[in-house]
Amino acid sequence: MGTSSARRAPTTRLWRLAKAAATRYLSPETAGTVEARQLAARYVAALGEGGGPGLAGALASFRLTRRLAQTLGAFLGQAVSQGWPKALEEWGVPTPPEAPPETLALSLSAAFQSPDGGLEEAAAHTALTGVFLEELSHPHPHPDSAALVRRFLAQALSLRLALDLGESLEAAAPDIAQLQQGLAKIVGEIEAPAAAPLPPAPPPTPEDWQGLAGWTWVTGLLENLLLRIMDPNFT
């Protein structure tokens, strides 16, 4: 099937365990021995390997993603208070008459882009485009900024897993349909914790979203998401 969409993840101990779990997850010979949630937990553990105590390493892997989450929250705050057309105008996104949601989503995601972000940026901007497309496809979008930021973080994490473990997943899957089904289950396990209650008091203004308050809130949000993936009984 090819592995052009994947990258070669590190070969340290926890990464080897994560890649082995990805193989067992989709291989017909070991079907059922590894569930999607277990694979997601293995991946989060691998992200944090060698990065300090607790989830420090995993959080560090999403530094640019967290900055984008702050920017997303700031923009959505403007969209709520000023309306989408005005917010788009202020972010320099052209809004020609009858522009399809796909065009607006791509243009808006590009307006958030930062140079030289590598794999993390690619995954984050793909997730960002998906969030914008989903919201702009509504006839009258009125976003819940905090909930959409959490959805963005979950989607970015899902994409990173697919890229990091893609080679193992593709090699193990008997066909493309099984690969797609397996990835969909993983996405579901990652996004399920994103349905939990949000942390209190998200940043109240676009300026707060872009400052220390926004960074702290987004970091706490991602940390809770990672903890719930690692331990479904986490509250």
pTM of the model: 0.87
The verdict on residue 15 lying in a domain is no
- Of the CA atoms within 13 Å of residue 90, those in its CB half-sphere come to 14
pLDDT: which is higher, 93 or 213: 213
pLDDT bucket at 172, cuts 50 / 70 / 90: very high
| Mean of pLDDT over the chain | 85
pLDDT bucket at 235, cuts 50 / 70 / 90: very low
Contact 179, 26 (CB under 8 A): yes
DSSP 9-58: ---SHHHHHHHHHHHHHH-GGGTTSS-HHHHHHHHHHHHTTTS-STTHHH
Question: How many domains is the chain partitioned into structurally?
Answer: 1
The verdict on residue 83 lying in a domain is yes
Rama region for 118: left / alpha / beta (φ>0; ψ in -120 to 50; rest): left
What was the pLDDT predicted at 4? Answer: 42
Would you say residue 1 has pLDDT above 60? no
What is the DSSP secondary structure assignment for residue 193, as one 8-state letter?
A: G
The verdict on residue 4 lying in a domain is no
The verdict on residue 224 lying in a domain is yes
The verdict on residue 186 lying in a domain is yes
The verdict on residue 216 lying in a domain is yes
The verdict on residue 6 lying in a domain is no
What was the pLDDT predicted at 9? Answer: 66
Tens digit of pLDDT for each residue in 191-233? 876 566 777 788 989 899 999 999 999 999 999 899 888 876 6
The verdict on residue 12 lying in a domain is no
What value does the mean pLDDT take over residues 59-67?
93
Give the domain extent around 145.
21-235
What was the pLDDT predicted at 3? Answer: 40
DSSP 209-229: HHSHHHHHHHHHHHHHHHHHH
Would you say residue 174 has pLDDT above 70? yes
